[in-house]
């Protein structure tokens, strides 16, 4: 047994694998030991066997242990210098090397809670424009942590978590949601999240850009070789691989050529040995073994293609679900709008009925007014006829001594027409009749006292001397025994 292997720890790893189907036997032992020891100290367990007993008695501890092992440390635009190179060199190179309508596929391996794939999404949207991005780019984001994937699918982040996102990008690609900010839903459709164990599950295929930062560092050298071989298979010729700044990629130098070694950006250049992890055959080859190897390769290729087809199907299903949700939301909005229109229509109908009722009332009032006007005209015509038939001049005043009627005979005597005197104060008229001498007898009539006729000297409209005999009578009011004015009857004869 190797000197660096602790049998008790290995048995603990096997227990975790067999109990919860999480296989960490391929991870770097120093890293794993530190993570396990941290949890042992937290729960007060002594030794590997003691911690196993604690796991048996407290199953909830598995979740804490897995979180401690995976340590989902991530962030938007983490290690900004790397993303600057990706934005300025990698993405333009990928875009220029393909037809304008060709799809661009990206794999974010070990995506944690989604900050990294959404960073990639923003960079491609900036480079291509939003509409072209939505039409051409598909980003596959994978992880083994189901809780992290659930949060990534939610795509909601706090202001603190978005602190490293440039303000203009934050304004353009995030919208308020649930007290924080969420990545825009229309762009979110291009990002497909799924579970993938890098050293056990089949990789994506036909990928142009593969980003796996600070993930390889957890694996043993043997597992790293297997994962890097899968990465090589996943990438198209000329595709780019971006790893973490702490990952030297020593075992993958024969698979990938450096593009920017300082930023840990590599390219699949075609000169690599794609299956270096497979032992080379002896000089002792048999046809049967060769045929078996060919079948294995074909089976592996078919398995990988099937996995890629499954991912495509999952993406399509997610898009259909999103479209269905949007259609349902639109339908609900249309139903709400229809209800509002129905309510508005009912309100308009009620208003129309009210207006129709009001119009009928106005028509009735108009008919009544027309009848009253006709009555008034008839009454005026009758009164004019009566006044014209009286030989004496007739003047009618109200209680304020303002003229309300003036016969044609009065016009002949005094020279003023009815339209000139109506509404005028009788005592202010400049006529041949000395009207001020009539104040007292008019007041007596208004007060309910019968007054005898008055004889006054004056002149007619031509200036000839005339003796006027003025009689007085009360003008009956609306109420019984009330007086509304006075009636003056003028008779004139030539003075000596």
Counting the structural domains of the chain, the total is 4
Same domain, 355 and 210: no
**Is residue 105 located within the same domain as residue 246?**
yes
Shared domain check, 220 and 86: yes
Task: Convert the pLDDT of each residue in 423-453 to its tens digit.
Answer: 999 999 988 899 999 999 999 999 888 778 9
Higher-confidence residue: 246 or 295?
295
Task: Look up the domain containing 404 and give its range.
Answer: 390-494
Is the same domain home to 396 and 380? Answer: no
Same domain, 143 and 272: yes
Crossing angle for the helix pair 7-20 and 47-57, to the nearest 10 degrees: 20
Query: Does residue 54 surpass a pLDDT of 70?
Result: yes
Q: Cα separation of 124 and 134, whole Å?
A: 10
Residue 488 lies in a domain: yes
In a domain, 253, yes or no: yes
Tell me the per-residue pLDDT of 316-330, one tens digit each, with 9 for 90 and over: 777 677 778 778 778
- Out of 227, 245, 276, pick the residue that ends a domain: 276
CB burial of residue 67 (10 Å; 0-12, 13-18, 19+): middle
- Claim to verify: residue 48 and residue 145 sit in the same structural domain: no
Whole-number pLDDT of residue 283 = 40
Domain boundary among 276, 309, 338: 276
CATH of the domain at 182: 3.40.50.150
Q: Assess whether 108 and 246 both reside in one domain.
A: yes
Residues near 186 by Cβ (< 8 Å), separated by ≥ 6? 134
Q: Tell me how far apart the alpha carbons of residues 303 and 297 are, in angstroms, rounded to a whole number.
A: 10
Residues linked to residue 473 through DSSP beta bridges, in sequence order: 487
* 364 located within any domain: yes
Judgement on whether residues 90 and 156 belong to the same structural domain of the protein: yes
Kindly report the number of other CB atoms within 10 A of residue 272's CB atom: 17
In a domain, 340, yes or no: no
Whether 146 is covered by a domain: the verdict is yes
- At residue 471, the 3 state secondary structure works out as strand
At 279, the pLDDT band (50, 70, 90 cuts) reads very low
Q: Examine the fold and report which residue of 331, 364, 385 is the final residue of a domain before the chain moves on.
A: 385
Give the C-alpha distances (Å, rounded to integers) separating 181 from 120, 121, 131, 284.
Answer: 18, 16, 22, 64
C-alpha of 387 from chain center: 80
- 333 compared with 4, residue with greater pLDDT: 333
Residue 193 pLDDT greater than 80, yes or no: yes
Residue 309, in any domain of the structure: no
Query: Considering the entire predicted model, what is its pTM?
Result: 0.51
Clarify whether residues 370 and 414 are in a common domain.
no
Angle at 285 between CA 282 and CA 290, to 5 degrees: 120
Domain co-membership, 394 together with 247: no
Residues 24 and 156 in one domain: no
- Is there a single domain that holds both residue 242 and residue 379? no
Task: Please indicate, yes or no, if residue 226 is contained in any of the structural domains.
Answer: yes
In a domain, 345, yes or no: no
Alpha helices in 155-286 (DSSP H): 167-173, 185-188, 221-234
């Amino acid at each position: 047994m190797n000197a660096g292997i602790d049998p008790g720890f290995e048995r603990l790893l096997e227990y975790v694998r067999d109990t919860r189907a999480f296989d960490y036997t391929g991870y770097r032992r120093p890293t794993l030991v530190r993570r396990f020891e941290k949890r042992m100290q937290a729960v007060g367990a002594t030794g590997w066997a003691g911690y196993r007993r604690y796991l048996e008695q407290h199953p909830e501890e598995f979740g804490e242990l897995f979180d401690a092992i995976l340590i989902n440390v991530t962030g938007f635009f983490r290690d900004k210098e790397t993303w600057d190179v990706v934005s300025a060199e990698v993405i333009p190179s990928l875009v220029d090397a393909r037809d304008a309508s060709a799809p661009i596929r990206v794999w974010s391996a070990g995506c944690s809670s989604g900050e990294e794939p959404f960073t990639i999404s923003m960079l491609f949207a900036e480079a291509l424009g939003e509409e072209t991005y939505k039409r051409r780019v598909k980003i596959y984001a994978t992880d083994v942590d189901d809780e992290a994937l659930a949060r990534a699918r939610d795509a909601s982040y706090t202001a603190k978590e978005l602190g490293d996102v440039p303000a203009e990008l934050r304004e353009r690609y995030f919208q308020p949601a649930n007290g924080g900010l969420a990545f825009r839903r229309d762009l979110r459709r291009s990002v497909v999240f799924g579970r993938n164990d890098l050293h056990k599950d089949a990789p994506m295929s036909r990928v142009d850009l593969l980003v796996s930062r600070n993930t390889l560092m957890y694996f043993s050298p043997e597992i790293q070789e297997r994962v890097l071989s899968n990465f090589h298979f996943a990438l198209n010729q000329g595709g780019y691989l971006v790893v973490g700044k702490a990952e030297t990629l020593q075992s993958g130098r024969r698979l990938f050529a450096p593009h920017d070694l300082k930023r840990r950006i590599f390219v699949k250049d075609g000169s690599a040995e794609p299956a270096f992890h497979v032992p080379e055959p002896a000089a002792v080859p048999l046809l049967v073994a060769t045929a078996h190897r060919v079948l294995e390769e074909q089976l592996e290729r078919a398995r990988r293609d099937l996995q890629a087809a499954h991912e495509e199907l999952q993406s399509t299903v997610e898009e259909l679900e999103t479209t269905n949700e949007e259609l349902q939301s639109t339908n609900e909005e249309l139903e709400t709008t229809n209800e509002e229109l129905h309510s508005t229509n009912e309100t308009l109908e009620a208003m129309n009925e009210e207006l129709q009722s009001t119009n009928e009332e106005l028509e009735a009032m108009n008919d009544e007014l027309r009848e009253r006007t006709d009555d008034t005209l008839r009454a005026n015509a009758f009164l004019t006829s009566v006044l014209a038939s009286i030989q004496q001049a007739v003047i009618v005043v109200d209680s304020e001594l303002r003229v309300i009627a003036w016969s044609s005979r009065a016009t002949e005597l005094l020279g003023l027409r009815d339209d000139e005197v109506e509404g005028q104060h009788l005592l202010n008229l400049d006529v041949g009749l000395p009207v001020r001498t009539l104040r007292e007898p008019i007041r007596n009539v208004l007060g309910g006292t019968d007054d005898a006729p008055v004889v006054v000297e004056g002149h007619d409209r031509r200036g000839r001397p005339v003796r006027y005999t003025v009689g007085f009578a009360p003008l009956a009011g609306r109420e019984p025994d009330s007086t509304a004015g006075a009636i003056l009857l003028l008779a004139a004869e030539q003075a000596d």
